[in-house]
């Protein structure tokens, strides 16, 4: 049976996904799932090998062919004066064959991250590493500057690095209000499939499975910042739809979402924790508090966030989501107590 090009390409892409997921028998899985015979799958494998998309490791096992590219940008040489130079020199040649929506995303995110290096890091050197295979593109930017979390902490006089990272989840945070909106990291983390920032022994990360996780890292303290980003070469995302999901009809950034599981190591209980969450929320009109994977919250936390803050800021809508039964009971309890 001869398939259309669209169906054939769809089967090939599914085959590649099975290969990257380390399926023990990708040919059998694809044949059974797509209801085609093994000889057809093997013919597709031969085509993929011929096109240098995959390579054979051993009988029945394959891997995607990956290309690595490394660039060094020096402030001394003038490489860190213009983000468009870095984009054209380092990334554009490797994404020009991708769909326009994917190029648009990379153009935005890469420019934002390079601008952070140029304007905020005081770095002398930035190393750009691009790792690309048929399915995805990964970009790593490493600088030798002051470290993003440390700079935010010191600029805003936060008590801890965790306080600084918490603010990045909200957006509208910048140490240079005259030249930056503070939206770059927020939207970049939403546009990418995976997005990590490593600095000062801490991680800010946003990926397509867990949507932002903060973890204490045990590696040695180091200066500078490392940003790692990954996006499918076949992504259907667009910059417009991601921006619109956090904007009003006029295009203003009015909405933010806070995943509590990524901000606290355990269930939040105290008023001080709620105050950390509510810091700078007056910059938004809509706030979503996500309780996914949180099992409980203390009365002080609930009262501060859902009673006192709305009382002082009635113009701001705060909506909790993904609450389990115990959290819902505490939420209803503090609201009921406030009414009486």
- Between the alpha carbon of residue 21 and those of residues 17, 18, 27, 44, the distances in Å are 6, 5, 13, 18
* Measured distance CA(29)–CA(78) in Å, rounded: 52
Please provide the DSSP assignment of 130-191 as one string: EEE-SSEEEEEEEE-SS-HHHHHHHHHT-SSHHHHHHHHHH----S-TTT--S-HHHHHHHH
Tokens of 196: 């990590």
Q: Are 331 and 320 in contact (CB under 8 A)?
A: yes
Q: pLDDT at position 210, please?
A: 45
pLDDT of residue 217: 42
Concatenated DSSP letters of 222-275: -SSEEEEEEEETT----HHHHHHTTB-TT--B-EEEEEGGGT-SS---SHHHHH
Q: What is the pLDDT of residue 212?
A: 44
pLDDT of residue 120: 80
**What confidence score (pLDDT) does residue 338 get?**
78
Tell me the sheet residues that pair with 74.
Answer: 125
Distance separating alpha carbons of residues 176 and 28, to the nearest angstrom: 56
Strand pairing category for 194-199 and 136-143: unpaired
| 3 state DSSP class of 100 | helix
**Beta carbons within 10 angstroms of residue 42's beta carbon:** 12
Tokens linked to 149: 């979390």
Tens of pLDDT, residue by residue, the chain (340 residues): 567 788 888 888 889 988 998 888 888 888 888 888 899 889 999 999 999 999 998 888 899 999 999 999 999 999 998 889 999 999 999 999 999 999 999 999 999 999 989 988 888 999 999 999 999 999 999 999 988 888 888 888 888 888 888 888 887 776 655 555 567 888 898 899 989 898 888 888 755 434 444 444 444 446 789 999 999 999 999 998 888 887 766 667 788 888 888 788 788 999 988 998 998 898 889 999 999 989 999 999 999 999 999 999 999 999 999 999 999 999 999 998 877 6
Cα separations in angstroms, 156 against 44, 115, 189, 192: 56, 20, 22, 27
Residue 121 DSSP code: I
307 neighbors 334 (Cβ within 8 angstroms) = yes
| CA distances for 257 relative to 205, 244, 273, 301, angstroms | 15, 14, 16, 17
Residue 15: name the closest of 59, 53, 66, 57 by CA. Answer: 53
> What's the pLDDT at 249?
63
Residue 123, burial from CB neighbour count under 10 angstroms (0-12, 13-18, 19+) = buried
């Amino acid at each position: 049976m001869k398939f259309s090009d669209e169906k054939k390409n769809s089967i090939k892409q599914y085959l590649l996904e099975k290969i990257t997921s380390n399926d023990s028998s990708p040919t059998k899985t694809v044949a059974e799932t797509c209801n085609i015979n093994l000889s057809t799958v093997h013919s597709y494998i031969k085509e993929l090998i011929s096109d240098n998309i995959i390579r054979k490791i051993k009988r029945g096992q394959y891997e995607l062919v990956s290309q690595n590219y490394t660039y060094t940008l020096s402030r001394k040489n003038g490489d860190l004066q213009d983000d468009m130079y870095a984009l054209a020199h380092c990334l554009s040649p490797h994404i020009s064959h991708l769909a326009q929506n994917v190029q648009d995303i990379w153009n935005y995110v890469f420019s934002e991250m390079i601008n952070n290096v140029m304007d905020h890091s005081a770095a002398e050197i930035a190393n750009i590493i691009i790792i690309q295979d048929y399915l995805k593109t990964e970009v790593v930017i490493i600088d030798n500057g002051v470290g993003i979390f440390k700079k935010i902490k010191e600029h805003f006089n936060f008590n801890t690095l965790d306080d600084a990272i918490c603010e990045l989840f909200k957006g509208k945070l910048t140490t240079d209000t005259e030249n930056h909106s503070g939206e770059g990291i927020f939207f970049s983390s939403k546009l990418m499939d995976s997005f990590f920032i490593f600095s000062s022994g801490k991680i800010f990360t946003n990926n397509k499975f867990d949507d932002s996780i903060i973890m204490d890292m045990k590696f040695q303290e180091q200066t500078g910042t490392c940003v790692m980003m990954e996006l499918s070469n076949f992504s259907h995302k667009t910059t417009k739809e991601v921006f619109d999901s956090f904007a009003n009809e006029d295009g203003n950034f009015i909405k933010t979402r806070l995943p509590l599981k990524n901000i606290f190591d355990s269930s939040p209980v105290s008023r001080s924790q709620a105050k950390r969450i509510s810091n700078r929320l007056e910059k938004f009109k809509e706030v979503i508090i996500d309780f996914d994977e949180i099992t409980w919250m203390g009365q002080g936390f609930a009262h501060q966030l859902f009673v006192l803050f709305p009382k002082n800021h009635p113009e701001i809508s705060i909506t909790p989501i993904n609450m389990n039964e115990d959290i819902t009971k505490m939420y209803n309890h503090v609201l009921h107590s406030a009414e009486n």
